[in-house]
Amino acid sequence: MANSNTPIIQLRNINFSYNGRKVLKDVSLDIMERDFLGIIGPNGGGKTTLLKIILGLLKPDSGEVKILPSSDNEAAGVIGYVPQFAYFDRDFPVSVLEAVLMGLLNDAPGIGPYRKGDKDKAREALKKVNAEELAERRIGGLSGGELQRVLVARALVSEPPVLLLDEPTASIDYKTEENFFDILHRLNKEITVGMVSHDIGFVTSHVNRVACLNRQLVCHPTTDISSDVIANLYQTPVDLVAHQHRLPEEQ
């Protein structure tokens, strides 16, 4: 899978602590255009914290974050984000199309109806994740896999050049996971994709680079990931199981 040599996000010497406990130490990382980056590491290793710093939701103790396509160096409009836990009131009478339109709220000119063409954008985002047939369904009636695709559509509706996902397959089954990664591979032909995952096998099968994070970060090409690398990351022997996923045809 091709990726350019142009960085789209740069982290330099990021340090962050929670209540005096060091969570990230001297983390530096370039995320390139068309990267498909996997971020792995043990619980408490700083993965979600790193995403939140990139998004501007947390401020590092020291270090620098550059969002290069943005003139004001902010993530808004550049990064679409799918959080690990999405809080929807399943009983709230909102349709899938309306939920996807919420992804445009940051771009809206003010209080009032959406702009002309916004519903077309939402339907196009649903089409990108093979969910256009869900547009009129209620959010409360979706399966876990359907909801995850809708959340990706909501992140994509503003047409960001980067998509970040935090544990997107944690609540879906194996077959649904296969289809989900097919979608991500197709999206990656047009945009940068980065995701946190605990599934080491998925990492070796799907991404082109792996960021191993346990307070400190080391980035590897996928081909360099071995059992020794994983054991050092998790500080315990870990079997490296490479799932034999069916990959979409390379372009």
How many whole angstroms separate alpha carbon 161 and alpha carbon 167? 20
Token pair, residue 190, equals: 């047009």
Q: What is the DSSP letter of 197?
A: -
Strands 192-196 and 162-166: parallel
For the segment 9-40, what is each residue's pLDDT rounded down to a tens digit?
A: 999 999 999 999 999 999 999 999 999 999 98
How many whole angstroms separate alpha carbon 80 and alpha carbon 69? 13
What pTM was estimated for this model as a whole?
0.84
Q: Which tops the pLDDT comparison, 153 or 200?
A: 153
How many whole angstroms separate alpha carbon 188 and alpha carbon 68? 18
Strands 209-214 and 21-32: unpaired
What is the band of 219 on the pLDDT scale with cuts at 50, 70, 90?
confident
Strands 7-18 and 21-32: antiparallel
Taking the CB of residue 13, how many other CB atoms lie within 10 A of it?
12
Q: What are phi and psi of 159, to 5 degrees?
A: 60, 50
- Strands lying side by side in the sheet with 62-67: 21-32, 7-18, 62-67
Mean pLDDT score, 72-94: 80
Q: What are phi and psi of 216, to 5 degrees?
A: -105, 155
Given this model, what pLDDT does residue 152 score?
Answer: 96
How many whole angstroms separate alpha carbon 68 and alpha carbon 75? 9
Q: Which tops the pLDDT comparison, 162 or 87?
A: 162
Given this model, what pLDDT does residue 30 score?
Answer: 94
Token pair, residue 217, equals: 């970060």
How many whole angstroms separate alpha carbon 203 and alpha carbon 47? 15
Q: Which domains does the chain have, with CATH numbers?
A: 1-78+162-251 (3.40.50.300), 87-159 (no CATH)
Residue 246 confidence (pLDDT) above 50 = no
How many whole angstroms separate alpha carbon 101 and alpha carbon 116? 12
Given this model, what pLDDT does residue 1 score?
Answer: 43
| Percentage with pLDDT > 90 across the chain | 48
Residue 88 confidence (pLDDT) above 80 = no
Given this model, what pLDDT does residue 4 score?
Answer: 61
